[in-house]
Structures are given as structure tokens and as C-alpha cells.
Amino acid sequence: MKITSAQFAKGARGSDSIFEDGIPQVAFIGRSNVGKSSVINFLVGQNDLAKTSSFPGRTQKINLFLINKALYFVDLPGYGYAKVPNKLKDSLRAMVNWYFFVSNCQQKKLS
């Protein structure tokens, strides 16, 4: 697939109508600082569409980028090595768990 357009769509902290709009989602998951955001930038051919950082735990939202007006790339917060307070670490973990185990179940129910 050739990527011809890519825009930031939304940064969500949890339940949000964007997850129910029927547009397919391709999620990037992995430990903090492994290069998830960098891979997205490489794939779309833009240097700073997804914010990258050498500081593990900088991504604190579920960021969605609309690709070719047809699907989302979903840049998830990393887990594991985030150099952030434990409370924030817990909330990042809860966000990723919610994305995988709750939001997608809601989608199935809708269709």
C-alpha cells in the first residue's frame, strides 16, 4: 500500500467516539522507547507526524493518524520502561488494556 496522505486525527485518553467510527485501526504496540512513533513517521514519510522522544513514557495518549483517508495508525503509549511516576505508569497501562480489551469489544458489539 502506498501512503499518499497522513494526518493527525486525535489524541484520546480512553473512551471516545473515534473508536466507533468504523474506520479500521492498525495499532503499534511495544515497550517505551523502542521506536513505535519513529516507525510510523518512517512509514508515512514525515519526520514529526508522531512525536518521538528519547524520554521513555512521553506518549501519554492514544494518538490516531488518518492514513489515505481509509485507516488509522494508532500510536499507543509504551509500557514497561516509562520513566514516569508509578501512578502515571498505571494509568498508561490501563489505557493500553482498555484499548485492546474493551474498545474492540465495543466495536464488535456495534457491528
Ligand X SMILES: Nc1nc2c(ncn2[C@@H]2O[C@H](COP(=O)(O)OP(=O)(O)O)[C@@H](O)[C@H]2O)c(=O)[nH]1
Stretch that binds ligand X, among 14-22, 33-41, 62-70, 90-98 (CB under 6 A): 33-41
Residue 105: CB atoms within 10 Å: 10
Minimum CB distance to ligand X smaller for 20 or for 35: 35
> Rule CB under 6 A: which of 79-108 touch ligand X?
none
Q: Is 32 in the site for Mg ion (CB under 5 A)?
A: no
Q: Is 35 in the site for ligand X (CB under 6 A)?
A: yes
Q: Rounded to whole angstroms, what are the CA distances from 29 to 2, 5, 78, 106?
A: 22, 22, 7, 20
Question: What ranges make up the beta strands (E) of the chain?
Answer: 6-12, 25-28, 62-67, 71-75
Q: Is 63 in the site for Mg ion (CB under 5 A)?
A: no
> DSSP letter at 11?
E
User: Can you give the binding site for ligand X, defined by CB under 6 A?
Assistant: 30, 32-38, 52-54, 59, 78
